[in-house]
Chains A and B, each alone.
Chain A
Amino acid sequence: MPRVALFATCLVDAVSPETGVASVRLLEAAGCEVEFPAAQTCCGQPAVNSGEPEAATRLARHFVEVFEPFDAIVAPSGSCAAMVHHWYTRLLDGGWRQRAQAVADKTFELSQYLVDELGRPDLGASLGGTTVTVHDACHGLRNLGLKSSARTLLETAGAEIIEMVEPEMCCGFGGTFAVKYEEISAHLADDKLDHGAQTGARYLTSGDGACLMHLEGRRRRTGTGPECVHFAELLAGGLP
């Protein structure tokens, strides 16, 4: 039985614990033994993206120390997993870089782990009659190459996927960009929600909670667009 360490991410831990619960249920449905290393905090991405690499490096070292004992590390966020893959080896050097590379090699985004690593697209979830459109969150798409795995999970569960125009276009979240340039950020959210609405799908889903919090917050303000939900929560909702 694969032993998996869940990296819940600070956002899920603090604001959307349901995504974490859903992730655990999916991993267990796939036959994994899930552990939650209690010493975990944040991957450090807010710091590196704000131009503070020293602060990010401090949290990168902490992450490596916490997670290196495990066989696999799974996060319900393409962006946080991409931080480990893309930035840790660039921030750290010497022996730390080697340790970071070893940790990155066994760090996965949730759908990537279930479909590409375990080969378990069928989790026994049933989403027959549910229509979904998928937003390809940027860092998972471009840094980890995620494109099909979340779609495979949803389709295997019986959901109907209706693709939107430009699913790979950024939703406008962008971390601190969302509050520094809120006009552009909201404009891009509206484009994404309009594209989602055009599909007629019931849900707009993605593998990154931060994008979804931004999109759902905008949807609640404007009233336009499908309900924005993490794919893990959709799938877990379909588990027996």
Chain B
Amino acid sequence: MSGKGLVTPGPTMKARSKVAVEDPQLQAALSNLDLRLFTAGVVQAEHPEWKDRVAEIRRETLADLDGWIDKLEAKLLSLGVVVHRAATPEEARAYILGLAQREGVRRVVKSKSMATEEIDLGSALEAVGIESIETDLGEYIVQLADERPSHMITPAIHKTLGQIADVLSKEAGTELPVVREPLTAWARDKLREKFVAADMGITGANFVAADTGTIVVVTNEGNGRFCTSLPRIHVAVVPVEKVVPRFEDLGVLLPTLVMSATGAKMSNYLSMVTGPRREGEIDGPEQLHVVLLDHNRRVLLGTPYEDMLGCIRCGACLNVCPVYRTVGGHAYDSSYSGPMGKILTPLVTGGEEGRDLPFASTLCGACTEACPAEIPLADLLVRLRADLRTPGPVVVPGAQKPAPPPALPVGPVGHSDEHPRKPGEGFATAVTRITVPTRRAPWSQRRMGFDAWSRLWAHPSAYRASLRVGRLGAKALRPRAGWVQRAPLLRAWTDTRDVLVPSGPTFRERWAARERGEERW
């Protein structure tokens, strides 16, 4: 999405995976950390009841998402927060850039946020000459390396310590030791300077409570707190599904998120921001802006993909995924990687990006098992394979048909008490690239092939005939049966594995021979 550097470049997931498997540095970085140990079943093992409660809260939220967004917006406005509803990344970026330029912002500090990655905000700020510094240590490292994060919780997990020392040394202009503590200390000093000098702090939000208007930012380094308290303007970019109905819901959501992400009981820092600085308070921003981002999410409500909006971005599905653990995050070439990324990327981009991602899965189901929000990730991957069959927008059964484009004042000004939102004004659903099935959609070669195959194999006689043809083919092409290293038409298999070429009777032939008394088992 961003065009930022990838350690495993390539035009397709397949090409990038090949690079990843053959990259010894990346393989060393991935194998040094047994990701699965972070999270394996911690929540399930220690608090089996949390998972159901989390899923229940998420489903309750999604059942009336627009209602909760309205409640949240009303609460935020009453706290003096400026709210902007953005249908697209372009709108979100335009609003934030407009605000920054209006306010004369020159330096921005960012706390790690998947939503700002999704809208590629950092590059947009840099493009207009505003310095934008990532303040999560891992994210800072990948920013200095001009790369994108490769894991939503641990952004630089694809780098070895030596590679990290190189990146930081280059920035420092002196050779730093290849030792964790001094490297971290150097980055800490550097980032402190950035925090103090910043005019604007930009964060995402792990959750936002609709009843109190509280924005929750979870970090382990305290950088989220600096970003939300030091600069005079704080902007939180919040995808719509981050809303939770009640502050008290955080009681189960937060520990579930942290345990699923890192295995720890709680994060080192937990920042809760409720409105901008009030009279008499000594810190906090003068202005607080919340950008609510839709980007093809609300159109998924009521469809089989609604469950995906229950994702709490814990990364558990990445950590247990055999594919992620083999190729790392850059192979996905998307803000979101791993199983959730394979689903969310084509959905939020309406099929413009990541169309090949759903196929890069063994469908082993480890992601579904690990997900603390009970999202049937493996099933959604299977569904997406079908719903991406025809070129163009993702075809989603049951999606609301896009409304005609409303005349929207997509202006630089958000909604506040002085500029109330007019009825009907909000997310422009017309920009969606999610569509509904039509009868006239052209069939792909794959579809024609499977259609013909299933018609044949629904007839036992045709099935038996195809087995006989297969046997004749094997006989004609291979003088030897059994395990062979090369076989015509099977290169994709035999490039990496031997193949078993059958020669004797099929099972059904042996069964018939036994029935006739010619064979004894």
Give A residues with C-beta under 8 Å from B.
8, 10, 12-17, 20-21, 24-25, 36, 38-42, 44, 46-56, 58-59, 61-62, 90, 138-139, 142-143, 166, 168-170, 172-189, 213-214, 216-218, 220-221
B359 touches A142 (CB 8 A): no
A181 touches B17 (CB 8 A): yes
A185 partner residues in chain B, CB cutoff 8 A: 362, 496
Q: Of the candidates A8, A48, A52, which one forms a contact with B446 in the assembled complex, judged by CB atoms under 8 Å apart?
A: A52
- Cα–Cα, bound, A42→B504 (Å): 20
B326 touches A174 (CB 8 A): no
The contact sample of 5 A-B pairs, CB cut-off 8 A, is: A15-B500, A53-B386, A56-B454, A183-B496, A220-B498
A12 touches B507 (CB 8 A): yes
- Cα–Cα, bound, A44→B255 (Å): 41
Nearest to A48 among chain B residues (CB) is B382
A59 touches B458 (CB 8 A): yes
B385 partner residues in chain A, CB cutoff 8 A: 49-51
A8 touches B508 (CB 8 A): yes
Give the interface size class of chain B.
35 or more
Nearest to A79 among chain B residues (CB) is B363
A15 touches B502 (CB 8 A): yes
Q: How far is the CB of A68 from chain B (nearest CB, A)?
A: 15
- Cα–Cα, bound, A130→B82 (Å): 71
- Cα–Cα, bound, A57→B129 (Å): 56
Q: How far is the CB of B342 from chain A (nearest CB, A)?
A: 12
B507 touches A55 (CB 8 A): no
B451 touches A55 (CB 8 A): yes
Nearest to A179 among chain B residues (CB) is B492
Q: A17-B510, A173-B362 are in contact. Are A47 and B454 (CB under 8 A)?
A: yes
A221 touches B498 (CB 8 A): yes
- Cα–Cα, bound, A185→B446 (Å): 22
Closest 8 pairs (CB-CB, A-B): A174-B362, A51-B385, A217-B497, A55-B454, A170-B364, A179-B492, A186-B496, A17-B507
Q: A51-B385, A218-B497 are in contact. Are A184 and B364 (CB under 8 A)?
A: no
A143 partner residues in chain B, CB cutoff 8 A: 365
Q: A217-B493, A218-B496 are in contact. Are A49 and B457 (CB under 8 A)?
A: no
B14 touches A181 (CB 8 A): yes
B505 partner residues in chain A, CB cutoff 8 A: 17
Q: Does residue B176 face the partner (Cβ distance < 8 Å to A)?
A: no
Q: How far is the CB of B521 from chain A (nearest CB, A)?
A: 6
Q: Of the candidates B361, B365, B379, which one forms a contact with A139 in the assembled complex, judged by CB atoms under 8 Å apart?
A: B365
- Cα–Cα, bound, A81→B62 (Å): 33
What 20 additional pairs, Cβ within 8 angstroms, besides A142-B364, A184-B323? A13-B507, A16-B500, A21-B510, A40-B460, A51-B382, A51-B387, A52-B454, A58-B455, A58-B458, A62-B458, A138-B362, A138-B365, A142-B365, A180-B14, A181-B17, A183-B21, A185-B362, A187-B21, A188-B322, A188-B326
Q: A48-B382, A182-B492 are in contact. Are A58 and B454 (CB under 8 A)?
A: yes
Q: Does residue B360 face the partner (Cβ distance < 8 Å to A)?
A: yes
Contact with A along B360-386 (1 / 0, CB 8 A): 111111101100000000010010111
Q: A36-B508, A41-B458, A221-B485 are in contact. Are A166 and B389 (CB under 8 A)?
A: no
A50 partner residues in chain B, CB cutoff 8 A: 385, 446, 450
Q: Does residue B447 face the partner (Cβ distance < 8 Å to A)?
A: yes
B363 partner residues in chain A, CB cutoff 8 A: 49, 138-139, 174-175, 177
